[in-house]
Amino acid sequence: MRYLTLLLACLPWVASLAQTPVVPAAPVTIPVPTLSARAWILVDYATGQVLAEHNSKQRLEPASLTKMMTTYLVAEALADKRLSLQQPVVVSERAWRTQGSRSFVPVNGQVLVDDLLKGMVIQSGNDASVALAEAVGGSEPAFAIMMNQTAQRLGLKDTNFLNASGFFDGAQPTHYSTAHDMARLAAALVREHPEIHRLHATKEYTYAGIRQYNRNRLLWADPTVDGLKTGHSNAAGYCLVATSLRAPRRLISVVLGAPSDEARARDSLNLLSWGYMAFDAIKVYGKGQTVSQFKVFKGAQNTVKVGVTEDLIISLPRGMAAKLTTRLESRQPLLGPVHLGTKVGTLKLALGGQAWGEYPVVALEEVPVAGFFGRLWDTLVLWFR
């Protein structure tokens, strides 16, 4: 066993929980499994807590993990009705000639988006990836620009994509990402496009009479694993982004640069198992639960109920729940009108007196603006405060 400093920090991954600066927890040393990968990270999906990491911000080639961004952009196009699952796509010669893993789509043939998506997600087909990139972006180079723009929007600060598949004839150091960024991208895909994420749990599918299997070994080894993506090249080594749900908690692990297919599966399983065993899932507050009431000035009512938009479930080292304390800070002065869902304060957590993280609290109800005399009175009150 080796000891690593765990950066148990609540990072801004989930939109509903990540709109305030985060105070990282004080370093805590907990023994973690010995892993063979060059870089890795384990993240609590709901809060963005980093439970363990090693070289998580080292830029490495992601190989087919690149397809996670391609999948994300295709999912966005489907959600925006720019693309439909039953829409036929003509497979260009460029897409058909793409080397590496293939979905066996015919050149100049018309293939449904649904089949291309399955070919990319389940079989990791490079040909399907390029065909989808051309359908969404017009061309693969134009799609790569979209990929990098989306990466910036999602806060992937150490990521740069050159193509839609991640395949290159040799090393390509300017096509890179990090374990940290890949975990963040995985969280965005799960959160924003759950229906597409469910495809990643499919073990096999058949196209043109050819049965194709998912390359993620964990789908057979652990029934709680429901994704997400494998990757491999000589330069990148063996990579795996895994998602696992053991209610009420979902964990995301990223392993980059493992020495073999077996090693990346073993590292991922060890990391996920350790995360579930070493930490307890603690529900701090429930979705829509009134945490407190804040004073409102110039509002039609004097107070507003506040809480969190989703269940706030955090990971704490096993047996430490009794040492968790909470402190609520209101944004003051809070002026009417206050709209439902507006951030109105911050919930600060501490564990044994050490800062553990911050989460926004929002208004759970509408507070209309007060009438003329109410506003006038509160103006005077605020003047003399």
User: 320-349, pLDDT tens digit by residue?
Assistant: 888 999 999 988 888 889 999 999 999 999
Residue 92 in domain: yes
Residue 201 CB neighbours (<10 A): 17
Active site includes 92?
A: no
Residue 204 CB neighbours (<10 A): 11
Active site includes 67?
A: yes
* Burial label, 147 (beta-carbon count in 10 A; 0-12, 13-18, 19+): buried
Peptide bond into 248 cis (omega under 30): yes
Active site includes 165?
A: no
- Same domain? For 258 and 316 the reply is no
Q: How many domains does the chain have?
A: 2
Which of 124, 165, 177, 244 is the catalytic position? 124
Report the CATH number at residue 258: 3.40.710.10
- Same domain? For 83 and 166 the reply is yes
Per-residue model confidence as pLDDT tens digits over 195-236: 999 999 999 988 888 888 999 999 999 999 999 999 999 999
pLDDT at 170 over 80: yes
Strand partners, 294: 304
Contact predicate 240/229, CB 8 Å: yes
Q: Is the pTM of this model over 0.75?
A: yes
Residue 193 CB neighbours (<10 A): 18
Q: Which domain holds residue 229?
A: 31-281
C-alpha 369/C-alpha 375 separation (Å) is: 8
Report the CATH number at residue 318: 2.60.410.10
3-class secondary-structure state, position 16 = coil
Which of 36, 56, 67, 298 is the catalytic position? 67
Contact predicate 131/139, CB 8 Å: no
Strand partners, 90: 110
- Same domain? For 203 and 137 the reply is yes
| pLDDT tier, 25 (very low <50, low <70, confident <90, very high otherwise) | very low
Query: Which residue type is seen at 350?
Result: A
Per-residue model confidence as pLDDT tens digits over 295-327: 998 888 999 999 998 889 888 998 888 899 999
Which of 36, 56, 64, 129 is the catalytic position? 64
Query: What is the per-residue DSSP string for 87-118?
Result: -EEE--HHHHH--SS---PPTT-EEEHHHHHH
pLDDT recorded at residue 29: 54
pLDDT recorded at residue 38: 97
Residue 203 in domain: yes
Integer-rounded Cα radius of gyration of the chain: 24
Instruction: List phi, psi (to 5°) of 5.
Output: -75, 120
